[in-house]
Amino acid sequence: MTYKKTTVAEDIWGQSGRHSMTCPQCKGFLTVVQVEPIYDPDNAYTPYRTVVECASCSFRMVTESFTILGGIKNYDNEYIEIGSWGPSGSRVISRFKHAISESLLDELKKSQELVEFLVVNDHVVQVIG
């Protein structure tokens, strides 16, 4: 089995302490390990079985993650809205909690650049590309 280790956001989570993605046991940094895709033909996105691990203690959580390609429609302190496309090509707006810095969100909203958002446990935790 191959483990793809994503360099998730230690600094993002660290600097935005108000979001609950730091280790609940020791407040250490969490890293995300994507393990394997979960095949679901009805889902527009490919979810990955995902392990979230603490770098400092034995805390470990198994969850799902996936990526969405889209652009920022709107954001506030807690939520972002991502404009993307459904399986039939129709526009879809998705809303998630996030742990992304405001300066990056502002930049993406202005540029309307299409990027991939990594979503873990219903939180957008990283912007890829």
Nearer to Zn ion, 56 or 112 (CB): 56
For residue 15, the minimal CB distance to Zn ion (Å) is: 18
Asked if 60 touches Zn ion (CB under 5 A), the answer is: no
Which span sits near Zn ion by CB under 5 A: 5-13, 38-46, 59-67, 103-111?
59-67
**Residue carrying structure tokens 């890829």:** 128
Which CA distances in Å does 32 have to 16, 52, 73? 17, 5, 26
* Binding test (CB under 5 A) with Zn ion, winner from 10, 14, 19, 28: 28
**Cβ neighbours for 68, distance < 8 A, ≥ 6 positions apart:** 45, 82, 84, 94, 116, 117, 119
Dist. CA 50–CA 26, nearest whole Å: 21
Q: Does 21 bind Zn ion (CB under 5 A)?
A: no
Q: Residue 124 carries which side chain, given as an amino acid letter?
A: V
Residue whose CB is less far from Zn ion, 28 or 47: 28
Positions touching Zn ion (CB under 5 A) are 23, 25-26, 28, 54, 56-57, 59
